[in-house]
Structures are given as structure tokens and as C-alpha cells.
Chains A and B, each alone.
Chain A
């Protein structure tokens, strides 16, 4: 083979020969070779519009879903270099890989948004985080979790990064009132001794920031959860990042009420905000009921 064709060209030619033939079967979905080829083209165009050029490295942290295939061949069509890596990798492993290949973009699942957000600061080359799929998973438990959510005007904070930082500090100060010494890693993870004790995720929609935080007051026992979501035993301990909790750090588990009572003064002292207890208004109640009904759909 003196001059073999590239992988992008290979797909193009196969797709031209058998346009309508099925290429991918995924659950109930069927994707023809033509569709596969067109989706790869869309990814190539999309990456190009983000400034990705031939020879640039694009990381892929995806399971076996059609998007992996579109992204992979889109990268090939552009002449860029695909860097697919293990979806079970965490923290330092990912930082090492992204830095070693100087990835300019990463395509990954929404549920890894937190993780990638957090390490972006350590990977100077990484300009674009491209997210797909709906695999977010949050565990809540009466023995462990408290959830803090904020829906605020975008101009409440100077930037998304600022929101991450300020809310991270709010939580650290709140945890400190219970005697927990935690520290904050850029964008999202609040840790004690390497283990996660709280997370922050900042999202945006129209003119609003939506901030979701989860803090562990007591140890999170995941056994029951993993009965419901099947994960092979060999990799179970790799799926979840190691966590700790206020109780594990101090011997005492605060109640959700105590947590709220500790949070409010911090909100006041750090941001000058007083919070008045209220309820959902009529317009909101409608949305609340609607979402609850959707959430229960089998």
C-alpha cells in the first residue's frame, strides 16, 4: 500500500457506495451510512468554525454512542488528530493526557462537565469543551446530602468563573462553621484531603445563571444506588470519585436545617445578601408541577 487513503476519505467512499444501508444500530435508532457521513461532516464544519485545524488534537471522552462515531470521523475529515481516552479516567490522569497532547478541544458527556470544568485551568491548551448526551447522575440521600440551588441574573457575577469561585467560597465558609477545612479547586470541586465533599456546577440559560451545589453532610452509601444503575463490579469504585463528608471529617452530622442556618450568615457577610424565606409564586408553581410530572415519566 503505497498511498492509502485517510480515514475520513475511507468513510466518504463507503458512504457513497452504500448510502441507504444501515451503519449504526443504537437502541431503537438506526443510522444509515449517508447520515453517518453527513453527521461527520457537520462535526468537521463545527470544529472548523471553532478554529480547529488539520493536525490539531481533539480529545474524545465518550462511551460507545453514535456521537463517538460522528466525532471520530469528523475529526478525521478535518485532518485533525483524535485522542480518545478511557471514560473512567479521573483528575490527574486526564490532565496528564490533555497536556501531553496539547488538546485544543474535548468532546465529552454532560456528566463529565464538572470534571472537565475543574481541570480546564490546569490544561492551558484546552479552549473548547463540547458536551453531548444526557447521562448526568446525582445521588441524594437523607443520611448524606444537602442541595443548594440558585437561579440568579447573569450580572449577579462578573463571569461564569466568578460564579464558580464565589459560590465555592460560600460553601467552604459554610463548611468551616462545622469545623471542616476544605479547599477549592477551580470550577467545581470542594475537597478535603483529595476527596470530594461538595460540588458546584454553574449553567447558563438566556439571561440567567443556574447554580447547582451538592454537599455531603454524612457518608454517602452508594451500594443501593449501584443496584439500580448497573455497573460491573470491577469498575464500580472507578465510577464515583472518592467522597468524604462533614461527619467523616468531624464526627458529627449537621442537619439540613443547621446547614441552611450556617449558610445564610455567610451569604450575608460574603455577598451582602439577606435571604427572606418565601414560596414559589403562581407562575412558578405551574412550572414546578409540570416538571415533576415529566420527571416521573417512565
Chain B
């Protein structure tokens, strides 16, 4: 090891210096290596401060330069590097793989029942479980889609939902390829980026979640003209879409929205409520062809139409089970029926309605309280933008209702106001005991509220522990 290094001290540097110093040093050293220079340059250490705020960003990072100037943030971009730039030790560059590998490969013959994909989902308790999805599961899902919502080569479908989620992967990407459509990839969601992508590619199909429809509508309200009218079909899923939003969106974009319902365990959608056809507000629609759906009681016996129970599903789209987890599989799939954990009923026309998630129920004084019912009321409050309801323990350790609410921009409201509104519209036992105001609510990639993260003592999973053996206990404690 050399004894003397060169120190370059640059206390008033900027974001561009963070890039330029190492580049310069590398260039000097490599020139020396190939004897392009006679000067032997030493090992060097650079210590730098920043004289102003700055972002050093890779070429694919989307930065608003105007805002950057406004807030006096120095933006420096990594040049788009070709092959041969520095790469983290012990890694492989995908671009090198793409440049050096043969473009010929014959797909291996796969057993239709072999796993193709594992998708990890979090239950209300415990760690994420890997849902095994087979080639057959995806093939059946494509077949189902071809019967209820056929697409074709002339369609352009917007893939804005994350492809790591079953909805975007199965009903977006895999269906998209199955039908030979054009697919517009949106790598990072923002309302204006989505709108721009629809416009630019004259998209005909949008698969999205309620929040996205709400955002697009908000933009549409402010700019009455130049709303793209190319969408022939929209699908909403992941969470319920308010009927008023659905109607207003259809009007503004001259389109139709079908609301779907499905789970990771069912390779996404199993039923669809198609607006404009046999549509029932608030329903998830009838079961798709190739899907058997029932409502059962706690003993697994089917209940009469109109009566609430757990929704169970049997179909070739149903996962064979959780990866390496026979216990969880046995708990969820009984006699070939997948127990969804969703409560609901079927009406006399065969339309299904979800009333709640089994595990999210709040039970107070023997009464079952549906958080969703209270949330839906709160959504209608003119000053509120968002709401979530969970169970908490009150002083006597009974379950009590707690509401988290997000005010609309520029609005003010007191706890009293919110509670009064609830009292006027809900049975007393359903009125929240506690109200907390928040700037935003934690949501999953598909816009589902993460109630787990709202519970007290919620542990941030992003923190790495020093001792990795004791995580489980702390987590449950």
C-alpha cells in the first residue's frame, strides 16, 4: 500500500464536482496506464462540501429544472454512460448482457403447472407470503379476459400500474402481449405524466386504480379542453371507485370504466362490473367465465343470496398455494376453494358485492363495524380529501373506532366538525372515538390504504437492525 496519497480538499464544491473529480482522476490514471501521459498520478482522496443544495442524478431521473432553479438547487446529470464506466464491485451490467449475448434462444418447454412467478403479498399479520402463480394460471387469466374484455392488435394499453403487482403484471403486461397490443410504459406515476402518456400514444385502454382516476379527473376539471378522448375502455381495481368519480370521468374522457375485483392468489381479476352494460353500482359484477364464486358461512356452507358471508373462489386462475408454506396454503385453500377473506353477498342476479375485509372488522360491544362504511361517509364530507378508519384500544381495552383524515388543500376543520358529521349519519356505536388529521395516508402501490401502518406501534420495516436474529419478536411485540 502506498504511504502517501494526494488529498484534494474542496469545501465549497457543488453537485457537479461530486461527479467531475472522480471522473477526472479516473481519466488521468487510465491515460497513465496506457502511457498516454508520462505523469504518474498517485492514489487520491477528495473531501468535499457543498456550497449550495444539489442533486447528482442519473440520466434516467426525471427532474423539473425550472423548480430546481426556483429553489436554488444545483442539478448535475451523470452523462449517459456507455459500456465500460465504473460499476459497483461484484455486479453485472444488464446492458453488457444485452450487448454480448446471442439474440437466439428457444423457449424451454415448461410444465403448465410449474411456477412462473412468485408474488409476495402482505397479510394483516406476519411477513409477506410468496403466492405461486403457474403458467396455467396466467393462460387461464388471458382466456378469461378474452371473453369479458377482448383486446386486439389495434389497442394501445397504458402500463402505469407497477408490473411487480399482480394487477399490472397479469391484466396489463401479460394480457397486453397475449393480444399483441402496443404497450405504453409509464415508469413513475404522476397525474400529468399519465395524462401525457395517454395523449402522446393515443392510448385506447387504461388499467388503473381509483386514485389515478381521481387525479386525472381533477386535471380534467381545470383544463376543460384538450382532454384526450382516445380511451375506449378503462378498468379500475385495487379499491372501490366512487360512483360519482366513475360517472364524471366517463363523461370527461368519453369512455367507459369497468370495475374489477381480484387477488394476487387469483392471478388478478375474477369478476368485472361493466359500466354501460349490465351494471350495478357498488357491485364487483358477476363471476367471470371460468371462475366459480360462492358466499359461505364460517362452516364453509353456501349461504342464501343476499346474505353476507366470506367469498370463496374455485378456478384455474387460483394459485396452487404459498411458496414453501403448506400451513398458510391449507388455511387459505380448502377443498380447492380459495378463501378470500373478503366479506360480501350475491344478489339474485348473480352480482357480487363486497361489504368488508374479514380481518379489518372492528367489533365494539358485540357489534361488527365496517371501517369501509365509515370511510365512505367521510369521503362525502366536503372538506375531506381522504380518510381511513381502523380499530384502536380505548382506555378500557375495548376496540374503538379511530379515523385518520386528510383535509382538502386550503380547508380547515375541527375534530368536532368531523364527529358531528358522523353522528348525523351513523349509528352511535359506529361514530369514531378518535380523529387524527394527517397530511397524507400510507397507501400501497395500487392505492389501497395500508391500515397496518396506521396502527400504533407500527414498526418501520425499512430500518435495518444491528442484530438480525431478534427481528421477529420486536415486530410482534
Contact = CB atoms under 8 A, between A and B. Distances in A.
Given A7-B110, A9-B107, 14 more contacts: A42-B97, A42-B98, A64-B187, A66-B185, A79-B107, A84-B163, A85-B164, A134-B58, A136-B56, A137-B57, A204-B86, A278-B8, A280-B25, A292-B17
A222 to B, nearest CB: 10
Q: How large is the interface on B (under 10, 10 to 19, 20 to 34, 35 or more residues)?
A: 35 or more
Interface string A90-122: 111101110011000001001101100110101
Contact of B127 (A96, A225, A294): A96
Given A88-B445, A151-B29, A256 B11 contact: yes
Query: Which of A128, A227, A257, A291 is packed against the most chain B CB atoms within 10 Å?
Result: A291
A25 B7 contact: no
B24 A24 contact: no
Nearest to B173: A69
A173 to B, nearest CB: 15
Contacts of B76: 295-296
Contact of B108 (A61, A77, A201): A77
Interface in B143-189: 143, 153, 156, 159-160, 162-165, 168-169, 173-174, 177-178, 180, 182-189
A233 interface: yes
B28 interface: yes
B117 interface: yes
Contacts of A22: 182
B58 A284 contact: no
28 contacts: A12-B107, A21-B153, A25-B183, A38-B103, A42-B103, A43-B94, A64-B159, A77-B106, A78-B108, A82-B118, A86-B165, A90-B462, A92-B462, A111-B58, A118-B464, A136-B61, A139-B54, A147-B48, A149-B18, A153-B43, A194-B464, A255-B11, A271-B1, A275-B4, A278-B6, A283-B32, A283-B39, A288-B24
B19 interface: yes
B80 A228 contact: no
Contacts of A21: 153, 180, 182
B277 to A, nearest CB: 26
B68 interface: yes
Contacts of B136: 1, 4
Nearest to A50: B92
A22 to B, nearest CB: 5
B276 interface: no
Interface stretch (B291-299, B361-369, B434-442): B434-442
B24 A280 contact: yes
A78 to B, nearest CB: 6
A52 B116 CA distance: 15
A83 interface: yes
Contacts of A124: none
A115 to B, nearest CB: 10
Contacts of A64: 159-160, 162-163, 168, 185-187
Given A85-B164, A201-B88, A140 B50 contact: yes
A203 B89 contact: yes
Contacts, number: 517
B463 interface: yes
A201 to B, nearest CB: 6
B93 interface: yes
Nearest to A29: B185
A295 B61 CA distance: 13
Contacts of B120: 83, 85, 97, 100
Contacts of A3: 112
Interface string B5-38: 1111101011111111111111111111100010
B117 A83 contact: yes
A294 B116 CA distance: 43
Given A42-B101, A46-B101, A137-B57, A18 B180 contact: yes
Contacts of B5: 152, 267, 273-276
B413 interface: no
Nearest to A73: B177
Interface string A1-43: 1011111111110100110011111100000010000111111
A294 B14 CA distance: 14
A168 interface: no
Contacts of B135: 4-7
Interface of A is mostly: mixed
Query: Which of B56, B93, B143, B156 is packed against the most chain A CB atoms within 10 Å?
Result: B56
A272 interface: yes
B53 interface: yes
B139 interface: yes
B47 interface: yes
B335 interface: no
Contact of A86 (B44, B49, B162, B440): B162
Nearest to A81: B115
B138 interface: yes
Interface stretch (B217-225, B255-263, B396-404, B465-473): B465-473
Given A14-B180, A151-B22, A271-B1, A131 B7 contact: no
Contacts of A152: 5, 43-44
Contacts of B7: 260, 264, 275-278
Contacts of A272: 1, 3
A219 interface: no
A229 B188 CA distance: 11
A57 B86 CA distance: 28
Contact of A43 (B2, B98, B471): B98
Given A14-B178, A135-B58, A150 B103 contact: no
A14 B49 contact: no
B93 A132 contact: yes
Contact of A189 (B44, B84, B159, B464): B464
Nearest to A41: B105
A11 B160 CA distance: 21
Query: Which of B14, B67, B143, B187 is packed against the most chain A CB atoms within 10 Å?
Result: B187
Nearest to B475: A92
Interface string A55-79: 1010011111111111111001111
